[in-house]
Structure 1
């Protein structure tokens, strides 16, 4: 059966307006639920945590404050990596195994268009080949949920959905309306997506060869890693990014997001809390444990670790980003070497990344949408941000 793709995106106005993350919900009949489902109209993440996992996160637990409800956390990588995968291929392996074991009838994932490797094309994959065609992240806004009407029309009852935080919050909000017997949710951490035009500006501003970039990622060694068509890897230190030119490249929705770790997924697979070269797996509930166990024998593991102190680096980054400070490349390279040796690692690196983005995003919402600040920022994010001195007035209570 041919892979099903989403219908073209309508051009009418989206209810979240400039804050819309183009998750795809509003391109379906489920748009009627947008007021309750959209993360940027009504923030319900703490309420939805309780319905998805049986409880909300414990704010007095440092791990749950940062990383959400979970029962297990580990670093992993495939014993036999998938060729062409961005990492070792754990996400693809889970999806393929679930199809092959008949746990699900389809997988919501994102391939790319024939014309553009970075242009997302949401599909319902039904075969391993269709899943593999979706490997490698697409760092652009993607309407994953635009396939929800196709899910209903197909009559399928068991579905795996792969997505990022804003997509998953909307999906959880309408889950009961989908007519499914079982929904599995496999999430990836997500931060700082861009429009396709924004991505092009980032590539042209940062990479030595933007036209040959296959994929890239901001990594634990405080460098952006670009993989090129010829197999070569290019690295650029975080501190060498042209922040003064890139401050406005990220989508307003991403600048207003406080769900970096995909809190509502059953299982999360990323890299931010793992050593370099490994992936970070977070099991949030029993459904996530089933998915984890299904591929466990394909993986090798090591415990998560935490080393260093992030707080001074985060505090220094706040005014630097705010003022668009850009270092000369020689200074950025030197700072990168020093930070890599003495900077935060493992879960402390993950906290560094969360703190840096939450403080930045809090200021963005406060300055641009002050009327939304109190209700839009979750309690856990307020706790995290309150550790730092911000250049504006004191935090609202």
Structure 2
């Protein structure tokens, strides 16, 4: 076989470290360009070629029904539940459902390896993607790393590894690229466990955020924007700290998030087989979305260990979203006492469950659409997917 007749990924080489990425300022550092699968980047990259309908059809057999409100917001699915893992995994960010699925997938022989993200021995928040072969390696990846992570760089390790069945854990931009190159991978079976994702940062951006939002940035172990409209920080000494959304220094933090995140419309990880997050569940529970039979197979691995409950929805998000659009655009910062009052009020009468999920989606889609229209007007029409356009049309946006 001549070199010219080889598949593109067998002729390509990863981009050299420090080389400009094809997506330029919109690059999410998903890692595809750090593997030989860079050969497909112009088609596969979510920020060069938005293709939700095709990827949903590929993964689930159909694209979402835009006339079905739940699918409009949450994507193709056959089941949604809320859950807690009992007993929880020690040291997990919440109860550890994602980690337990990874462990059970290996222990049961369903997969040979799990693509997950450990951390640098020098810095808790520096991600280190790995192909975990043991439960211990999966557990070493527990707890979210809220920074851009090159997960797909480990595709470079697949050829010759003996891995034929893989469970990939990742966020939307990574999974979109992975689905686009799936048929070229040396795998017999790919399972995809996705997490909802919004507003990641570079490591430097994370430091800016921590120093602005936390009373002790050096001791933060993890944090999350939660359904009670507060940011929850956990510190290395076990201390819990919460800060109301409305108390953030928006003028200082408005531009700290990565441009890829400000132009992303895959909050709910539409291409995954199973999604595990918190955004559609009530506070203290996780939200599980089974998108297809492979997703149910993953859930089957741990379902006997879960305390399951139906998803619920209450409140009305719309006025809060509309008010938030103007406040964010004007970079409004509330005094601390007022932020606490607003947070207390919204926590009690604001949207909960699936309605909180819709609130979060509406808030981010309207913000991101405005950002794309202002910063990349030439891309806006093609880049903003049909489901996002329908959601955005329900609100009044400032002029681009």
Relative to the length of structure 1, the TM-score reads 0.96
Task: Output aligned runs, 1:231-250, within 5 Å.
Answer: 231-250=238-257
2:179 to 172, 177, 200: 172
Question: 1:9 offset after TM fit, Å?
Answer: 7.2
SS state of the match for residue 189, structure 1? coil
2:328 corresponds to 1:321: yes
Task: Output aligned runs, 1:41-190, within 5 Å.
Answer: 41-190=48-197
Instruction: Tell me the distance in 2 between the aligned counterparts of 1:358 and 1:179.
Output: 36
2:220 corresponds to 1:213: yes
Partner of 2:276: 269
2:353 corresponds to 1:363: no
SS state of the match for residue 26, structure 1? helix
Instruction: Tell me the distance in 2 between the aligned counterparts of 1:372 and 1:68.
Output: 23
Structure 1 residues 75-134: Cα deviation after superposition (integer angstroms, max 9, x where no partner): 001111000000100000000000001111100000000000000000000011100100
Task: Output aligned runs, 1:383-394, within 5 Å.
Answer: 383-392=390-399
1:32 to 33, 36, 39: 39
Task: Output aligned runs, 1:230-379, within 5 Å.
Answer: 230-379=237-386
| Structure 1 residues 182 and 222, CA gap change in structure 2 (3 angstroms) | same
Q: CA RMSD in A?
A: 1.0
SS state of the match for residue 346, structure 2? helix
Instruction: Tell me the distance in 1 between the aligned counterparts of 2:213 and 2:105.
Output: 38
2:204 corresponds to 1:197: yes
Partner of 2:235: 228
Task: Name structure 2 gaps, 5 residues minimum.
Answer: 1-13
Instruction: Tell me the distance in 2 between the aligned counterparts of 1:9 and 1:345.
Output: 46
Mapped contact 2:351–2:359 kept (Cα < 8 A):
yes
Question: 1:156 offset after TM fit, Å?
Answer: 1.2
Instruction: Tell me the distance in 2 between the aligned counterparts of 1:257 and 1:179.
Output: 29
Instruction: Tell me the distance in 2 between the aligned counterparts of 1:162 and 1:227.
Output: 23
Instruction: Tell me the distance in 1 between the aligned counterparts of 2:298 and 2:94.
Output: 18
Structure 1 residues 5-60: Cα deviation after superposition (integer angstroms, max 9, x where no partner): xx997111100000000000001111010011000000011111001000000000
Question: 1:153 offset after TM fit, Å?
Answer: 3.0
Partner of 1:4: none
Instruction: Tell me the distance in 1 between the aligned counterparts of 2:389 and 2:151.
Output: 29
| Structure 1 residues 34 and 77, CA gap change in structure 2 (3 angstroms) | same
Partner of 2:3: none
Instruction: Tell me the distance in 1 between the aligned counterparts of 2:169 and 2:15.
Output: 20
SS state of the match for residue 281, structure 1? strand
Instruction: Tell me the distance in 1 between the aligned counterparts of 2:155 and 2:398.
Output: 43
Structure 1 residues 335-393: Cα deviation after superposition (integer angstroms, max 9, x where no partner): 00000111000000000000000000000000000000010010000000000000116
Question: 1:152 offset after TM fit, Å?
Answer: 2.1
Relative to the length of structure 2, the TM-score reads 0.96
SS state of the match for residue 91, structure 2? coil
Task: Name structure 1 gaps, 5 residues minimum.
Answer: 1-6
Structure 1 residues 267-307: Cα deviation after superposition (integer angstroms, max 9, x where no partner): 00000001111100000000000011111001001110000
Number of residue pairs the alignment of both structures matches: 387
